[in-house]
């Protein structure tokens, strides 16, 4: 491996192990390279717009990143995507993770020798992923003992720590299996009923077969137009997502655009008392907010108050648009109600880490995959209930009509 940059060399070596990496900001003169004066995660948060979703083992992409940011710290993805679970033993202040680990060992909960890294305040112990979802946890195993699993990451050696030290590989041992007592304590619970991620959406929402595709997508487009007042540019991404995931085989993109265009020939019904009432009765008008997930989201916990405000507003606008946002920074800055475009541009990578850039009808857009899947599933559910309600109402009307006795012919 020929490179003079130790950060690049390390990133490439992790990628060769099959561990996806991503560039992080780095400490610079007591501050963070993100240039945010109040940064609460100096040298630890992603540099890329896509956040953790950008993590890769592609050597070409890795070389590109560390050519652009030679001093970037290295992040390693944890969870099933990398086959890693990492125990963070934090000895800073009163946490004393090493002491907590010793207490666990005294109770018979040993920790095997494994790949280990010395951090600025303790150690990272790397283990093989157990094959079942492992949740991120903070001090659930004891004071100073955190776990990084699904949708998590750790700062890797030889990254720089904010306290001036560097992360150093302490033991190059082969990965040990994750101890059963750790897995049992932080195995990820099933998702709350009614909330689906993208994989669950694909597995649970019925496939739309040939012969039903145009009708189903047209009804979907009309609902988005009539019940939500969406324009063509907002409807098309939702139809394309639904078409790709549930239509077998998918329709051509040109057909999707034609369906959206036809639906938009009808006026949007969002004005007046009747329409306002219809909006409130529509379940897609409400976006479920899970407090437990919000307060346990590691990325949100490192955001400042104003970043959290931007994130919340943009998530709300994305739900209105079926999981999509415009890719234009100036538009996003206005939607987020940020006071400074410069500040928004500097911080939007972490604010929009849940989104990835996609192209829809030759236009760049930002897509939140999990939200788009949840929106499609919720909308299909609502359409079925609406059709069932209309059928029931028609049956009641027919049943209430007086029966006319046949005329007798003499």
User: From CA 235, how far away is CA 120, in angstroms rounded?
Assistant: 49
Evaluated on CA atoms 302, 305, 308, 314, the torsion sign reads negative
Residues of the chain with CATH 3.30.2250: 6-186
Buried b (16+ CB within 10 A) or exposed e, 260-271: beebbeeeeeee
* Among 361, 270, 282, CA closest to 324: 361
pLDDT at site 73: 96
pTM, whole model, 2 decimals?
0.50
Q: Of 38-42, 149-153, 160-164, 381-385, where does mean pLDDT reach its minimum?
A: 381-385
- Give whole-number Cα distances, 29 to 43, 161, 164, 408, in Å: 11, 12, 9, 102
Give dist(CA 7, CA 129) in Å, integer: 25
Q: Does position 58 have pLDDT exceeding 70, yes or no? A: yes
Instruction: Please report the pLDDT score of residue 396 as a whole number.
Output: 67
Pairing of strands 208-209, 247-248: parallel
Q: What pLDDT, on the 0 to 100 scale, is given for residue 356?
A: 81
What does the alpha-carbon distance between residue 149 and residue 126 come to, in Å, rounded to a whole number? Answer: 11
CATH 3.30.2250 assigned to domain 6-186? The reply is yes
Query: Minimal CA–CA distance to 301: which of 353, 338, 337?
Result: 353
Can you give the length of the chain in residues?
A: 410
> Looking at residue 282, what is its pLDDT?
47
Nearest in space to 224 (alpha carbons), one of 213, 235, 216: 235
Could you tell me the two tokens for 379?
Answer: 């909308």
pLDDT of residue 274: 44
pLDDT digits (tens, 9 = 90+) for 262-279: 888 766 654 444 444 444
Chain centre to alpha carbon of residue 349: 13
Is 230 within 8 Å of 321 (Cβ atoms)?
yes
pLDDT at residue number 63? 94
397 Cβ contact list (under 8 Å, min separation 6): none
Beta carbons of 263 and 224 less than 8 angstroms apart: yes
Confidence band, pLDDT 50/70/90 cuts, at residue 315: confident
How much is the pLDDT for 298? 60
- Looking at residue 209, its pLDDT comes to 72
| Bridge partners, 168 (sequence order) | 118
């Amino acid at each position: 491996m020929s490179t003079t940059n130790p950060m690049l060399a390390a990133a490439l070596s992790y990628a060769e192990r099959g561990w996806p990496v991503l560039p992080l900001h780095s400490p610079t003169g007591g501050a963070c390279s993100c240039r945010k004066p109040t940064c609460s995660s100096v040298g630890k948060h992603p540099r890329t717009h896509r956040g953790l979703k950008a993590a890769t083992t592609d050597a070409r992409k890795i070389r590109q990143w560390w050519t652009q940011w030679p001093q970037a710290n290295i992040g390693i993805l944890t969870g099933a995507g990398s086959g890693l679970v990492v125990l963070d033993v934090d000895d800073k202040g009163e946490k004393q993770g090493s002491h907590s680990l010793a207490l666990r060992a005294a109770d018979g909960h040993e920790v095997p020798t494994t790949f280990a890294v010395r951090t600025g305040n303790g150690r990272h112990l790397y283990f093989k992923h157990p094959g079942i979802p492992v949740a991120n946890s903070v001090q659930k195993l004891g004071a100073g003992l955190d776990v990084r699993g699904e949708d998590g990451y750790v700062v890797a050696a030889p990254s720089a720590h904010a306290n001036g030290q560097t992360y150093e590989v302490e033991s190059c041992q082969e990965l040990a299996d994750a101890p059963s007592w750790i897995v049992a304590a932080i195995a990820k619970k099933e998702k709350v009923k009614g909330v689906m991620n993208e994989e669950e959406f694909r597995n649970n929402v019925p496939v739309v077969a040939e012969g039903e595709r145009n009708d189903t997508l047209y009804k979907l487009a009309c609902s988005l137009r009539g019940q939500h007042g969406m324009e063509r540019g907002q409807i098309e991404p939702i139809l394309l997502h639904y078409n790709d995931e549930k239509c077998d085989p998918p329709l051509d993109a040109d057909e999707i655009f034609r369906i959206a265009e036809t639906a938009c020939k009808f006026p949007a019904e969002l004005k007046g008392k009747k329409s306002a009432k219809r909006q409130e009765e529509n379940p897609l008008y409400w976006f479920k907010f899970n407090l437990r997930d919000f307060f346990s989201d590691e990325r949100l916990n490192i955001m400042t108050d104003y970043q959290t405000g931007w994130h919340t507003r943009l998530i709300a606008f994305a739900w209105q648009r079926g999981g999509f946002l415009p890719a234009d920074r100036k538009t996003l800055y206005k939607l987020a109600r940020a006071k400074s475009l410069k500040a928004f541009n500097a911080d939007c990578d972490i604010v929009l880490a849940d989104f990835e850039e996609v192209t829809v009808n030759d236009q760049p857009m930002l897509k939140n995959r999990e939200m788009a899947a949840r929106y499609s599933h919720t909308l299909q559910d609502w359409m079925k209930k609406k059709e069932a309600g209309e059928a029931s109402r028609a049956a009641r009307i027919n049943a209430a009509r007086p029966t006319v006795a046949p005329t007798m012919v003499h």
